Amino acid sequence: MAEIKELLEELEADVVIFDRPISPRVQRNLEEIFQSAVIDRDEVILQIFADRAQTKEAMLQVELARLQYSLPRLVRKWTNLSQQRGGVRGSRGEGETQLELDRRQIQNVAIAAALAEA
């Protein structure tokens, strides 16, 4: 790991790409070690599909796949937050964490995308 970190610093790289799927926990740990963004093969493929999607249906399919991919990775974005209290009516209940709110919003968007596709 130290060797990779040295190489990243030497090359002034912004991102590390793994040629295999990695779990959200491993991804988060590697980002902490390398102090750099870490993505896996699946994320690269999703980005390629997103860049090349032309039809509305293709864009919806890519968005749905990206949302499903993102859902388990949300935790790395909100590890520093504790439970938030209150909130705007209808947006979140008392004590709902930002992570739970984001998870619910992604699920709602994914459902809407799936319905639009049908």
Is 22:34 a contact under the CB 8 Å cutoff?
no
pLDDT digits (tens, 9 = 90+) for 46-77: 999 999 999 988 998 998 899 889 888 876 55
Whether residues 72 and 111 fall in one domain: yes
Whether residues 47 and 87 fall in one domain: no
Residue 94's domain spans which residues?
54-118
Report, as ranges of residue numbers, the positions in the chain whose pLDDT lies below 70.
Answer: 75-96, 118
3-state class percentages of the chain: helix first, strand second, coil last, to nearest 5: 65, 5, 30
Whether residues 62 and 117 fall in one domain: yes
CA 76 distance to own-chain centroid: 8
Q: Supply the pLDDT for residue 107.
A: 80
**Domain finish residue from 36, 52, 68:** 52
Domain count for the chain: 2
Whether residues 29 and 70 fall in one domain: no
Which residue, 44, 75, 117, is CA-closest to 109? 117
Whether residues 48 and 85 fall in one domain: no
Whether residues 59 and 44 fall in one domain: no
